[in-house]
Copies of this chain bind each other. A is one copy, B any other.
Amino acid sequence: MVPAARLPVPLAVRPPPPHGPRPIASLRPLLGSPCIYATLRPAAAPLVLTRRGAKEHADAPAKVIDGKLVAKQVREEIAVEVARMKDAIGVVPGLAVILVGSRKDSQTYVRNKKKACEAVGIQSFEANLPEDSSEEEVIKHIASFNSDPSVHGILVQLPLPRHMNDENILNAVGIEKDVDGFHPLNIGRLAMQGRDPFFVPCTPKGCMELLHRHGVEIKGKRAVVIGRSNIVGMPAALLLQKANATVSIVHSQTKNPEEITRQADIVIAAVGVANLVRGNWIKPGAAIIDVGINPVDDPESPRGYRLVGDVCYEEASKVAGAITPVPGGVGPMTIAMLLANTLESAKRIHNFK
């Protein structure tokens, strides 16, 4: 899983893989099923939900967790805080983005971030470096943003050109301005009790925000995170655990993912496999956060494909208590959380409450 804000290739222009998405090893038999290409080949038989309780929920479809709406609210709240800070102490939060090379998709992402900043009053800074820049040149620009008091967050747009070592470059970002929150020191503080990270990575932070704003209780609940990437699954699991959920992480080596997922009151799916999580994986009434954005063939769409999540929405929404749609669920939250982290950083640096 790659959070939308950092996607190397915009999913909207990425063709579906030739043989469908890469399945989780133990789940191959499920993947030819109707849900994946539901609009192409409708299910031969109606869904059979045998789990006790599923029937009631089939009668009361899941509440839709509207990420677009929540992201809009968050951006409005940020705008208010940015204005309050400017009025009170004359400081405007600033976000610097470093773009190396001229990939069209990366340029689009950087432009979108700039627009999002402007809309809430955050100042944006940009360094556009040529494709053939050296690591030293990129690091020099990072160092200059590190020491620039107008800059409170620094983000290096990925992917970097192949001749560069990502780790060397990302490690150059000062920990107190690393608004992505991917630095190992930050992840360590996220994992530890009694320590707080400087920044919570944007996509998992967006997942938690959706749960909080929809009043989903986390403490004492069973939570399953599907996928264990450094940028979504693993930090999401650490966040749920810090919020006192009982967390299990399901991944490609898990033998019975459906059985474990079925025990969860909260599911965060972030594995990048279209429609992997079927209706019968879901505990009736569970809250489902779907981070996946996967293209699947769809000749009826003008683009020849459409985007679906890691969760089979049609099935899951009949069983779950609440669920995010794809698109329009977690996606819009990622940039909103980037803005939130930048504001938070400016507040911390200037000790503004």
Interface bin, chain A: 20 to 34
CB atoms of A248 and B251 under 8 A apart: no
CB atoms of B188 and A253 under 8 A apart: no
**Chain B CB within 8 A of A184 CB:** yes
Cβ of A285 to closest chain B Cβ, rounded Å: 15
Q: Which residues on the B side are within 8 Å of A192 (C-beta)?
A: 184, 187, 230, 234
Q: Which residues on the B side are within 8 Å of A43 (C-beta)?
A: none
Q: Which residues on the B side are within 8 Å of A251 (C-beta)?
A: 244, 246
How many Å lie between the Cα of A248 and that of B245 in the bound state? 11
**Chain B CB within 8 A of A241 CB:** yes
**Chain B CB within 8 A of A162 CB:** no
Q: Which residues on the B side are within 8 Å of A190 (C-beta)?
A: 188
Q: Which of chain B's residues has its CB closest to A260's CB?
A: B246
Q: Which residues on the B side are within 8 Å of A249 (C-beta)?
A: 241, 246-247
Partner of A248, one of B191, B194, B244, B247: B247
How many Å lie between the Cα of A246 and that of B230 in the bound state? 16
**Chain B CB within 8 A of A119 CB:** no
Instruction: Mark out the residues of chain A between 191 and 236 whose CB falls within 8 Å of any chain B CB in the assembled complex.
Output: 191-195, 219-220, 228-230, 234
**Chain B CB within 8 A of A114 CB:** no
CB atoms of B234 and A193 under 8 A apart: yes
A sample of 7 inter-chain contacts (CB < 8 A) reads A184-B185, A184-B191, A187-B188, A220-B255, A228-B241, A244-B251, A244-B253
**Nearest 4 CB-CB pairs, A to B?**
A188-B188, A184-B188, A187-B188, A248-B248
